[in-house]
């Protein structure tokens, strides 16, 4: 690969028809940050800015066919994994990762939508914990997702370092954890914590007063994948990703999409 070659990134996730989350948001983020974005659809949703009214998994065999066909032809420098929807789709993705060995895997632990709707069946959580987490190089849970994975409450900024360490141990020594405090904690700052087993980095930005935060988790994990593919430095990528998302939220009121939690402004730089 040429030194200045544009990196190719892949999102494996569900489709949000409103474009604020899922593969459509992922492709926007990866493109905005200078990567070539590819996408494999793992689930379909009926969704807008207010609610998820239906989820339909893509047949696992077709997910496998999408992945094998893509990897056989296209160099993939980083993978972001979002909503998978069912155990058989998780298995298909896990097998593809083990077969094709992409160099960087960012796993967004998608379990609950902004509206509060569950996006992962209860019987899939244990499989996700035991099978998917060990395949990730970086996981990006928010606090409610971390609580599901750990089976306990976190509830404060002070409890985040211990939670991040416990999640890291759950994933394996090659992994890192980006634990999102974000809007789930009621202080004036939005604080996230990156931990790779030896180093910790707090990433804190002022909280933006807006309801338009739909898809922030999807977008952050995609930004991490895109920037990590380009820098090869996870801590630099995390710092830049946090800044990008904070600015995209700050510019979200420039958009007029839906009547609920609107999307963030993925292409705010074009208007700057």
Residues tagged active-site: 180, 213, 215-218
Which residues neighbour 118 within 8 Å (Cβ) at sequence distance 6 or greater?
111, 112
Q: What are phi and psi of 265, to 5 degrees?
A: -95, 90
Q: Two tokens at 156?
A: 């404060």
Question: Residue 158, Cβ neighbours under 10 Å: how many?
Answer: 8
C-alpha to C-alpha distance for 178 and 176, rounded to whole angstroms: 7
Distance CA 87, CA 92 (A): 9
Dihedral sign (CA 5, 102, 120, 134): negative
In whole angstroms, how large is the CA radius of gyration of the chain?
17
CB 9 within 8 A of CB 225: yes
How far, in Å, CA of 98 to CA of 92, rounded?
10
Positive or negative, the CA dihedral 129, 217, 101, 63 is positive
């Amino acid at each position: 690969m040429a030194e200045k070659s544009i990196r190719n990134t892949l999102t494996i996730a569900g489709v949000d028809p409103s474009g604020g989350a899922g593969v459509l948001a992922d492709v926007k983020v990866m493109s905005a940050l200078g990567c070539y974005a590819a996408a494999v659809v793992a689930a379909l949703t009926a969704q807008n800015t207010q609610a998820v009214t239906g989820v339909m998994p893509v047949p696992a065999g077709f997910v496998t066919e999408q992945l094998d066909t893509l990897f056989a032809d296209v160099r993939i420098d980083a993978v972001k994994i979002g909503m998978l929807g069912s155990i058989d789709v998780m298995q298909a993705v896990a097998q593809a990762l083990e077969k094709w060995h992409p160099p960087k895997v960012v796993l967004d632990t998608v379990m609950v939508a902004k509206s509060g709707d569950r996006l992962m069946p209860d019987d899939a959580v244990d499989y996700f914990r035991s099978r998917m987490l060990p395949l990730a190089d970086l996981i990006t849970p928010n606090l409610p997702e971390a609580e599901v994975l750990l089976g306990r409450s976190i509830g404060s900024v002070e409890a985040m370092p211990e939670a991040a360490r416990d999640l890291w141990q759950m994933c394996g020594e090659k992994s890192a954890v980006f634990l999102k405090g974000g809007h789930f904690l009621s202080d004036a700052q939005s604080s996230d914590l990156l931990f790779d087993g030896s180093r910790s980095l707090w990433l804190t930005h002022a909280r933006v007063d807006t309801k338009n935060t739909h898809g922030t988790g999807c977008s952050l994990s995609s930004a991490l994948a895109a920037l990590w593919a380009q820098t090869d430095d996870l801590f630099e990528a995390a710092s830049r990703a946090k800044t990008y998302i904070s600015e995209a939220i700050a510019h979200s009121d420039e958009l007029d999409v839906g009547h609920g939690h609107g999307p963030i402004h993925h292409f705010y730089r074009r208007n700057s």
